[in-house]
Amino acid sequence: MTIERVAIVGLGLIGGSVGLAVQQMLPGMTTTGWDADADVRQRAAGRRLVGEVCDTVAEAVRGADLVILCVPVGAMGYAAEAIAPHLEPGTIVSDVGSSKRSVGDALAVALPDAIVIPAHPVAGTENSGPDAGFPELFRHRWCIVTPGKNTPPDAVDALTRFWEGLGATVEIMDAEHHDLVLAVTSHIPHLIAYTIVGTASDLEDVTRGEVIKYSAGGFRDFTRIAASNPTMWRDVFLSNRDAVLEVLGRFTEDLSRLQRAIRNGDGDTLFDLFDKTRTIRRSIIEEGQDDARPDFGRGDH
């Protein structure tokens, strides 16, 4: 199975980055694209995010071997319904959504005749929109692919080669496992960042601007994450509800334990945890796995 024509639906950070990366790294492929927002289409054409920005979704996906849906998770089902009547038989339809089980279900319902292979490039920034994308985004990053049990292996191979061509390392995973892992490594950290920045902002009345003025190091890092796209993250939490609630339950129990230790002056509990987490961080760096990038610290980046 060979992919020669790629259609991208949704031309924001991730769709735009895919378009730029394909044009730069897989120049034999043609790229078309469409976005529901006319201003985004205009800007995408100006930045040449894809070879051709089309006026309709039908034009964009006509004749495509691979369609990638790069819209917020909550819009995946609508985007899939919009492309369904215009696909050739045997077209691979994939996506880049940050949660996988609910997206996979929505795509399977809307696209019974397509080869649906959900995927998630674990790469991004706090920025969004058609000006945010760049072609190197996926280099030395993981792309997790979550095919169903009956997905044709040659289609999975073709999608794997596609993401490898953009510089990513592909990992095949069950969708439910993906959602639990990403709840721990991405979704809950974002929730914590949104919470602490919100709490600090509420405390501004008490501290009269000092929280922002003296914010350095730790808090500044939280504000970058908390500047992430509100639509995207609203949809992530609603779509990955079960896994997020499960991990959040564990997290709040652990937080309560620390709260109790502070109240009781129990320094040993605090020290033991901080010592353990420091060891974890050091072992990550020693393995050359800083930033969770495959091959990070060992290759050309």
Ligand X SMILES: O=C(O)C(=O)C[C@]1(C(=O)O)C=C[C@@H](O)C=C1
Ligand Y SMILES: NC(=O)c1ccc[n+]([C@@H]2O[C@H](COP(=O)([O-])OP(=O)(O)OC[C@H]3O[C@@H](n4cnc5c(N)ncnc54)[C@H](O)[C@@H]3O)[C@@H](O)[C@H]2O)c1
Does the footprint of ligand Y cover residue 296 (CB under 6 A)? no
13-52 footprint of ligand X as x/- string (CB under 6 A): ----------------------------------------
| Of residues 182, 301, 270, 169, the one with CA closest to residue 233 | 182
Does the footprint of ligand Y cover residue 12 (CB under 6 A)? yes
* Run of H or E including 109: helix 101-110
- At its nearest, how many Å lie between ligand Y and the CB of residue 77? 9
Number of other residues whose CB lies within 10 A of the CB of residue 281: 10
Q: Which is nearer to ligand Y, 70 or 166 (CB)?
A: 70
* Interactions with ligand X, residue window 112-151 (CB under 6 A): 122-126
For residue 205, the Cα-to-chain-centroid distance in whole angstroms is 35
For the CA atoms of 197, 229, 46, 161, what is the dihedral angle to 10 degrees?
A: 120
* Run of H or E including 9: strand 5-9
* Run of H or E including 39: helix 38-47
Q: Among the candidate windows 12-20, 151-159, 192-200, 247-255, which touches ligand Y by CB under 6 A?
A: 12-20
Distances (CA, A) of 115 to 79, 126, 130, 131, 170: 16, 31, 28, 31, 18
Does the footprint of ligand Y cover residue 193 (CB under 6 A)? no
Among 70, 156, 159, 183, binds ligand Y (CB under 6 A): 70
Q: Which is nearer to ligand Y, 181 or 282 (CB)?
A: 181
Tokens of residue 125, six digits:
């920034």
Among 10, 33, 118, 167, binds ligand Y (CB under 6 A): 10
Q: Which is nearer to ligand X, 31 or 239 (CB)?
A: 239
Sites of contact with ligand X (CB under 6 A): 98, 122-126, 186
Sites of contact with ligand Y (CB under 6 A): 9-15, 35-37, 40, 70-73, 75, 78-79, 96-98, 121, 124-125, 128-129, 132, 229, 232, 236
